[in-house]
Structure 1
């Protein structure tokens, strides 16, 4: 019997992501027959009231769940329960303990979809009530700390009560199908590995752009910013997978060993380098998809003089033999022109072109791995246009995963929840990975704190501050959407 306990069970993350993911796994028979779901929060609800909230969340946010029927929903609600739990009241955990089977052989997953300051009190009480022994696992959401020091404190506190293999630090980007396909692309195809180094690659671009603003997260986001919210976790995880050396096998720790080596090799910036190699911005009023949107400082919950960054661009470097001299350009922002997440590998140009004929400079080959909104891999090459003479144009070898596979698409949260219930740590962040990421991010945050003039503004619906384009242009490069073939 698997028991899934969701702390923060009435919160926004629970409604939008976790409950629909659990329901999808349930209707597609991915959970064991004796699965039980317990929502836990401070509200004094009865299980019947909570079941109605769960049904409402599935109706509102479970639109992508295939196979759902009224009968399946009723069956899922039958295994759904609620327990009032306030982390500050030890007696509340007595009731939770009574709902969980006593056998240590049964997996119990505790998902902490709460504010980070609640993590430790919850784990302390779980331990005090004998709930962290045996086959217990704890999933913690980002952000794990505000900097390296606070992340270390949280890690050390967690390790007082849990073994490292019981801690599942979740980053939903690692659950995306294409992120896992990066491992297959790199290490299951012989033609790519000889090209995957400084000799053949000009630069690497990793860009995650969002059209939405901060929505209802204004107060949280203003204390976090794009660096902590996106760069420190999502983008650096993508960097580590792109840059890692081949692992000895596909075991979780073999893969994570190589990822942490890549993160440790990231060149740490001096304060002078931060001003030259990073750009931060904040969106002002503009239009997205033809609709007027407010500026960041007028969003709900945001102070009128906020200095939080909603956009970051960085020219990163990796100090090792494979990547020395190859810039990794990282970019993320809210209220951008489009919603997309892409990894672009720009290969070096050919040494000499025999096709002069006044065609002008030709863009070099590139591999574009799209994570959203659609999942695809495109290898852009040059080919002759039909007709007389030789005139070249760019063509793409396009692998669209929606077309080549009819298998059910599993959303990232569903995949990660199932992995956690199976005890598979491959797609979860290890403590040394987390610390390596913070060790690289901390000097940048500290330099920004001492720089009151560095925050640029950009119009909502654009591609960010002009300085982000100059960051690449000064080295003869351009973001993908800015490149115009000559």
Structure 2
């Protein structure tokens, strides 16, 4: 049974709070999953009282959830909402917050502090809490939730980690990556480790390569300030895609406890072959979208977006080739890519198996046998699919590709979304789907040589038209000509 807590959102009026956190908490409350005495405390600079805060939250939820909003559930949710006006740079605000939380029995003794803030403010927020002892676990637990990116490069991430540990223990810190809460990502565990049939296939002997793609049709929207300092490599590859790589490549943990799982993920990250400075361009590619058409609409290029420097070389597309130097994966390339303003919204893990060693069908009408694929859809499809070859009915020896789908492809009904699942894990104190400090550091070590090289190459960046699948030049990172990007679940889309 979960403990009731005060769930404090720093930056409560910001984009993440409005579009993700508050809708997730509302849905959890509507489903009866939040402990009854739980309080949701919004913390921001606006001079609001509780009634103004509740009115704004109701408006945001209406905009976000529309017809699925239930008035009775909303009224119940509103009773949980409180607002506290504060400036995290003001010591008096910290003391007033402590006084409020100690003021009466309506505030439970356990606390979650969710930093829905720009990463540059994480240190100040942690110090703000420590100033009045709100980090101390006296009479209840304290948990600090930190959004990515965890720093902007390796050294910055190390400094941030040391600073947070001044006031919070590792057990109190929850570094959230919402991709780890997605249904198919969590299903990778069961798919791999509950089915013995996959173990003999899951290695360098039979797997040709692995692709991990996250593509978005959207541009940067109103996040220019963040994106100009982050870029696609930091925003997606260093965090989300590196986590998916670790889940695909890891060894079975000894148990399902958080530390055993995170131990195995760290082993994968430690085993990734370092990229020398001289080899960066052979392993990594970047580009930036220009004007184009998305879903029949003309859209601006990145340099035309508001608040973007007209000379910017920030990448909106990044592709990366990595090798894991261990017994299982030696010399199997892992290709990671992400991009804004691409042709489709898709997150996909595509594993291509090697061709059969014998050209058994060379004297038949089967000109070439396509390879087998294992596809794991993260979004919008939440599905696991296998592509195999079967004989086509009729005269002669012809083959066709058929697809075998897991039953999860067609499951309906209520499912927790990623944030709902992870917020419950925070309240439960379960670290299994959250990143440990050494996990973050080793992920930064992988991409740091690329970041340093790109940071000094500011005179030129490749481009691609919005609505495309990115620049053709990105194909140069492939090991062989027969390796190409897999864009979707469709069998007709499979590279030959």
Q: 2:249 aligns with which of 243, 253, 258?
A: 243
CA contact (8 A) 2:40 2:82 kept: yes
Change (3 A) 1:485 1:62: closer
CA contact (8 A) 1:107 1:421 kept: no
**Equivalent residue of 1:383, what SS?**
strand
**Superposition map of 1:25-174 within 5 A:** 25-63=28-66, 68-101=69-102, 106-134=109-137, 135-174=141-180
**Equivalent residue of 1:14, what SS?**
helix
Change (3 A) 1:475 1:244: farther
Aligned to 2:449: 443
Aligned to 1:6: 9
Aligned to 1:221: 227
Q: 1:45-96, CA deviations, whole angstroms, 9 ceiling, x for partnerless residues? A: 111111111111111113596xx42111011101100001111111112232
CA contact (8 A) 2:251 2:264 kept: yes
**Superposition map of 1:336-415 within 5 A:** 336-356=342-362, 357-401=364-408, 403-404=410-411, 406-415=412-421
Change (3 A) 1:197 1:145: same
Q: 1:396-417, CA deviations, whole angstroms, 9 ceiling, x for partnerless residues? A: 101252524x452111111111
Partner Cα distance (1:186, 1:484) in 2: 23
Partner Cα distance (1:286, 1:362) in 2: 37
CA contact (8 A) 2:483 2:495 kept: no
Partner Cα distance (2:98, 2:494) in 1: 62
Aligned to 2:307: 301
Q: Which runs of 5+ in 1 are unaligned?
A: none
CA contact (8 A) 1:370 1:376 kept: yes
CA contact (8 A) 2:277 2:453 kept: yes
Q: 1:210-264, CA deviations, whole angstroms, 9 ceiling, x for partnerless residues? A: 0000000112101110011011100101111111111101000100000011011
Change (3 A) 1:228 1:484: closer
Partner Cα distance (2:41, 2:459) in 1: 49
How far did 1:451 drift? 3.1
Partner Cα distance (2:428, 2:110) in 1: 9
Aligned to 1:20: 23
Do residues 477 (structure 1) and 483 (structure 2) align? Answer: yes
Partner Cα distance (2:494, 2:150) in 1: 40
| RMSD of aligned residue pairs (Cα, Å) | 1.8
How far did 1:101 drift? 4.8
Q: 1:266-299, CA deviations, whole angstroms, 9 ceiling, x for partnerless residues? A: 1111122111121100000011111111000000
Partner Cα distance (1:331, 1:250) in 2: 29
Do residues 263 (structure 1) and 272 (structure 2) align? Answer: no
Where do 4+ consecutive residues of structure 1 move more than 4 Å? 101-105, 482-486
Change (3 A) 1:31 1:321: same
Change (3 A) 1:63 1:388: farther
How far did 1:120 drift? 1.6
Partner Cα distance (1:431, 1:316) in 2: 22
CA contact (8 A) 1:83 1:95 kept: no
CA contact (8 A) 1:230 1:332 kept: yes
TM-score by length of 1: 0.96
- Count of matched residue pairs: 483
How far did 1:358 drift? 3.3
Aligned to 1:234: 240
Q: Which of 450-459 and 209-218 deviates more? A: 450-459
Partner Cα distance (2:365, 2:460) in 1: 43
